[in-house]
Amino acid sequence: MTIQIGDRIPEATFAQATAEGPKPVNTADVFAGKTVALFAVPGAFTPTCSARHLPGFKDNLDAFKGKGVDVVACLSVNDAFVMKAWAESQGVEDGSIVMLADGNGELTRALGLVLDGSGFGLGERSQRYSMLVKDGVVTELNVEQGGEFKVSSAEHLLAQL
């Protein structure tokens, strides 16, 4: 079942790259007591994700902060090393966007937002979406239809704030 507006983010653990290596992070670490703009991509380094999705959130960081967002986070079913390399290639290695590696797809499955990319050799990935989460509760949810990039953009989420 897909998460809905008003639902609480389920408990899950994923990884975040640190100078000491991958560090386990749970959903409470990211969402408790904060307003979080979370966006998810099917894969780091993939064309739309690298050319439009992540750059849109990077370019609008100040606008999100100005509207009360504490954290902008990107989630992908990739490992922490890939997420770190992608952050470096996109100029967000400073932590301005929190890069969350859902390597085993634990949170993605719990959210009900799995994308079957096996036809492209990708296996299970995350659907493309954005959401606003306030103290662990989803207040906005924008899931893309297959192959589209409209409602999950930074600009669309900003307009909802």
Share of the chain above pLDDT 90, in %: 86
pLDDT of residue 69: 98
pLDDT over 80 at 8, yes or no: yes
- Give the mean model confidence (pLDDT) for residues 117-128: 80
Mean pLDDT for all residues in the chain: 94
- Whether the predicted model's global pTM rises above the 0.75 cut: yes
pLDDT over 90 at 120, yes or no: no
pLDDT of residue 117: 75
Q: Where are the domains of the chain?
A: 13-160
Q: Three-state SS string across 7-74, please?
A: CECCCCEEEEEECCEEEEEEHHHHHCCCEEEEEEECCCCCHHHHHHHHHHHHHCHHHHHHCCCCEEEE
Tell me: the pLDDT tens digits for 36-55?
999 999 999 988 989 999 99
- Is residue 49 annotated as a catalytic residue, yes or no? yes
Contact 149/48 with Cβ under 8 angstroms?
yes
- Give the mean model confidence (pLDDT) for residues 142-149: 92
Catalytic residue among 15, 36, 44, 49: 49
From 37, 32, 93, select the one nearest 63 (Cα to Cα). Answer: 37
For the record, the structure tokens of 82 come out as: 């890939």
pLDDT of residue 104: 94
82 or 117, greater pLDDT: 82
pLDDT of residue 118: 74
Share of the chain above pLDDT 70, in %: 99
Q: How far apart are CA 119 and CA 103, in angstroms?
A: 19
Q: May I ask the CATH architecture of the domain 13-160?
A: 3-Layer(aba) Sandwich (3.40)
pLDDT of residue 147: 84
pLDDT over 80 at 17, yes or no: yes
